[in-house]
A and B are shown apart, each in its own frame.
Chain A
Amino acid sequence: MHFMYFTEQPMSAYDSKKGLEFGATALMFSNSHFDPVAGSRLYNEYIEQYKLAEAVNFDGIMLNEHHNAPFCMQAKANVFAAVLAAVTERVKIVMLGNPLPLADNPLRLAEELAMIDMISKGRLVSGFVRGGGQEQLATGVNPAYNRERFEEAHDLIVKAWTQPGPFRFEGTHYQHRVVNPWAVPLQKPYPRVWIPGVVSRETIIWAAKQRYPYIALNTSIEATKKIWETYEQAAQESGYSSGPENRGYLQRVHVAETEEKAVANARQFMWMQGEFTGLAHPVWSSPSGYFSPSQRRNFVEFATGRAVSPRGRPDFQQQLDDMQIIAGTPKTVIPKLRRILEETRPGIMALWANDGTVSHADSKTCIRLLGEEVLPALRETGAKLGLNSPFDNNAPVGIRYSTDLRKPAAAAS
């Protein structure tokens, strides 16, 4: 199995009361609430925490990116990836991921990622995402072409990584008359691509058709099983069978030396005021054209307060009961995490361990306990269940590099 450490990198030093008063902690919530002095301290604490995660035997560090919001300080995940490429030695640097549609020049991403792969000596996992609804507005990108831009930018980047230049690329959204970046990835044919997601069926199917692992972001056990069914169906149609190496799962878990402290700190998973990614504004988080037309009516009703969020919004206790959040000492969290592994059977697991105002000291304790006491137990379970990661299985990077397909891979493009 592949275990990675994750934090949203919260900008926890803002006055959360102001967010409640404003009614949203996204997009239009003024950056006058951002404190760069605290920001500087927090960035450096996060670097220290990542280094500790490597020291206590995590296999990877998972990074992400968001804009105009306190819940995530990474406005450019590649910046942190570049830092980690230099200050760590062994861990995989797992981008989950770069929001492709936000890029007006995807070749720039191809270059940055190639540099990170070379500097890290081949430790990059280059996940890609569509970016949230409000990210489109924060960067002035048309939400109505989000999925088209995602797929086209992906195709351009992979082509730039695998086909010698110079060549010309004439797409619908991207036109480049000269493609010839003088930075290409160290890993061949190209760095592994993992695709994280929450609700979009289209993304699950797209990932399966590419044979890219799909990372379910803290979805309920039941929803996760449905995701794997959808993935497996698309995998079968593409000529292969999916297994644990195609599946990743992100779990919120906080560990401390006492139960009480663990639960108190785990409450900080709710510091985003009950929402998965901060107190969302229903209109800004679901701009027209961003969601699948099949979801149109649901999101329209949500945006006008006529229905609850299609993403759901359970309270803290409910999330503890459903193991959406797990908190405790190593002894009490291990059986719960084992149950998650048994139920969701991923080859890749991300542990989202610290959020909100959890102190630097408590974050480090949590990382240490996870690495020293929890991971060994989970690795044992993973081995018993045969939960192999793409690295364990030497799985093909993408469908084009498969040697076991039941029919030609022509369908994937």
Chain B
Amino acid sequence: MAGSVAWNESSLAVAGVKLHLARAGKGRPLLVLHHDTGTLPRLPFYDALAERFDVLVPHHPGYGKSERPDWLRHPRDIAVMYRWLLSELGLSAPILVGLGFGGWIAAEMATSAPRDVGALALVGAMGVKPPRGDILDQALLSYMDYVKAGFHKQAAMDAVYGAEPSTDQLVEWDVCREMSFRIAWKPYMYSQTLPHLLGGVKAKALVAHGDDDRVVPLSAAEVYARALPNAKLEVVKACGHYVEMEKPTELAALVTALAGNA
């Protein structure tokens, strides 16, 4: 499924922690923040973005190939680490694309420096308490059932991970899950203060949400769309939580349009 885009992989130290970074493309800097289930090395969605942007896909500290800092306690700490990373790389006004759990980190980054945001895309974002429904508790589900719940169609999951994900993949999901527990256990996967801090983010924002997202209720997206002054809510049809894997072309077009309007 990997396209012709050339990805450069590197490792950078931030706060004494080695972070893995994949980077490709030219243009305005665009930071993709992955899910609580980590990320595959390549996705058609990333390739599509790399045709127009300077795309950076770091592995969150404690996830994938990045080191785990024992001291890290909150997704807000990750947001600060990524601000540090961008500063080291001399990048400003990044387009922030946050996927699920990564949406929470993107929102924290935006609130921490509202004038240094090119545009903000929150896709099935966690981070706020849904007024109706709850964020799905992965502690009660097997790795596979949790990921399965994020897809509208089983075939879409099979296309990305294969019908029988490898044990290596399961181990990676376990590592990711442990880190999510370490930093977002209680309250589970949301901040009680974030909704009150979103009002300062004047950048153009896209709040995208699958119409069949069984991981994060749509009502969470409505909270973001209401609290962010320049946000537009887009409900993606026939789509689950993993919009970037289930509707990559559609989401890439939405993000490109967002950046064009920014």
- Classify chain B's interface size: 10 to 19
With A145-B182, A288-B177, A289-B181 known to touch, is A300 a contact of B170 (CB < 8 Å)?
Answer: yes
Encode B142-172 as 1/0 by CB contact (under 8 A) with A: 1110000000000000000000000100110
Q: How far is the CA of A145 from the CA of B177 in the complex (A)?
A: 13
Stretch at the interface among A11-19, A120-128, A301-309: A301-309
Q: CB-nearest residue of chain A relative to B142?
A: A283
Contact with B along A264-285 (1 / 0, CB 8 A): 0000000000000000001110
The residues of A that contact B181 with a CB separation of less than 8 Å are 142-144, 287-289
A409 to chain B, nearest CB (A): 26
| Beta-carbon contact of A288 and B174 below 8 Å | yes
Cβ–Cβ contact A142 & B185, under 8 A: yes
Q: With an 8 A cutoff between CB atoms, is B5 at the interface?
A: no
CB contacts under 8 Å to B, within A277-330, are 282-284, 287-289, 296-297, 299-301, 303-304, 306
CB pair A283–B140 under 8 Å, yes or no, is: yes
Contacts of A289 in B (CB 8 A): 177-178, 181-182
* Residues on A with beta carbons closer than 8 Å to the beta carbon of B185: 142, 144
Note all chain A residues with C-beta closer than 8 A to B175. 288, 296
Whether A166 is near chain B, meaning CB under 8 Å from some CB there, is no
Interface of A is mostly: helix
**A303 and B142 in contact, given A287-B181, A289-B181, A297-B171 (Cβ under 8 angstroms):** yes
Interface size grouping (class) on chain A? 20 to 34
A137 with B171: CB separation less than 8 A:
no
Q: Is B139 positioned at the interface, with any CB of A under 8 Å from its CB?
A: yes
B141 on the interface (CB 8 Å rule)?
yes
Interface residues of A in 77-110 (CB under 8 A from B): none
Alpha-carbon distance between A289 and B185 when the two chains are bound, in angstroms: 12
Asked if A36 is at the interface (CB within 8 A of a chain B CB), the reply is no
* Chain A residues whose CB sits within 8 angstroms of the CB of B132 once the complex forms: none
Verify if A20 is at the interface (C-beta below 8 Å from B). Answer: no
A28 close to chain B: CB less than 8 A: yes
Q: Is the beta-carbon distance between A303 and B143 smaller than 8 angstroms?
A: yes
Name which of B143, B167, B181 has the most chain A CB atoms within 10 A of its CB: B181
Complex formed: what's the CA distance from A144 to B178 in Å? 6
Given contacts A287-B181, A289-B182, contact A137 B170 (CB under 8 A): no
Residues of B with C-beta under 8 A to A142: 181-182, 185-186
Q: How far is the CA of A346 from the CA of B177 in the complex (A)?
A: 40
Question: What B residues does A306 contact at CB under 8 A?
Answer: 167
Task: Give the chain B neighbours of A140 by CB distance below 8 A.
Answer: 186
Give Cα A284 to B178, complex, Å: 14
Complex contact A137–B139 (CB within 8 A): yes
Q: Measured between alpha carbons, how far is A303 from B141 in the docked complex, in Å?
A: 10
A124 to B19, CA, bound (A): 50
Which chain A residue lies CB-closest to B144? A304
Q: Interface centre among A289, A301, A306, by most B CB within 10 Å?
A: A289
B167-197 toward A: CB 8 Å interface, digit per residue (1/0)? 1001100110110011001100000000000
Question: Which residues, 176 to 231 on B, are CB-close (under 8 Å) to A?
Answer: 177-178, 181-182, 185-186
Question: B144 to chain A: which residues have CB within 8 Å?
Answer: 304
- In the bound assembly, the distance between CA atoms of A304 and B174 in angstroms comes to 11
- Report the nearest B residue to A28, measured CB to CB: B140
Query: Min CB distance, A137 to chain B, in Å?
Result: 6
Q: How many angstroms between the C-alpha atoms of A351 and B186 in the bound complex?
A: 40
- Closest residue of chain B to A284 (Cβ to Cβ) is B140
How far is the CB of B80 from the nearest CB of chain A, in Å? 20
Whether B140 contacts A296 by the Cβ 8 Å rule is no
Please give, as numbers and ranges, the residues of chain B lying within 8 Å of A145 by CB-CB distance. 182
Interface string of A109-153 (1 = CB under 8 A from B): 000000000000000000000000000010010111100000000
> What residues of chain A lie closer than 8 Å to B167, measured between beta carbons?
297, 300-301, 306
Cβ distance A302 to chain B, nearest Cβ, rounded Å: 11
Chain B: minimal CB distance from A204 (Å)? 23
Structural contact, B174 and A296, CB atoms closer than 8 A: yes
**Contact: A304 with B140, CB < 8 Å?**
no
- Most chain A CB atoms below 10 A, which of B167, B171, B178: B178
Q: Which of B170, B177, B182, B186 contacts A304 (CB 8 A)?
A: B170
Q: How long is the Cα–Cα vector from A304 to B145 in the complex, in angstroms?
A: 10
B142 and A304 contacting across the interface, CB-CB below 8 Å: yes
Name B170's closest neighbour in chain A (CB-CB).
Answer: A300
- Which residues of A lie under 8 Å from residue B142 when comparing CB positions? 282-283, 303-304
Most interface-central of A144, A300, A301 (chain B CB within 10 A): A300
Known contacts A288-B174, A296-B171, A304-B170; A137 and B182 CB within 8 A of each other: no
Q: Give the residue name and chain of the B residue nearest to A303 (CB).
A: B142
CB of A82, distance to nearest CB on chain B (Å): 30
Q: Which one of A137, A288, A297, A301 lies within 8 Å of B178 (CB-CB)?
A: A288
Can you spell out 15 A-B residue pairs with CB atoms less than 8 angstroms apart? A137-B140, A142-B185, A144-B182, A145-B182, A283-B142, A284-B140, A288-B175, A288-B178, A288-B181, A289-B178, A289-B181, A296-B174, A300-B170, A301-B170, A304-B142
Q: Which residues of A contact B (CB under 8 A)?
A: 28, 137, 140, 142-145, 282-284, 287-289, 296-297, 299-301, 303-304, 306
8 further A-B contacts with Cβ under 8 Å, apart from A140-B186, A304-B143, are: A137-B140, A142-B181, A144-B185, A287-B139, A288-B139, A300-B170, A300-B171, A303-B142
Interface on B for A, CB 8 Å cutoff? 139-144, 167, 170-171, 174-175, 177-178, 181-182, 185-186
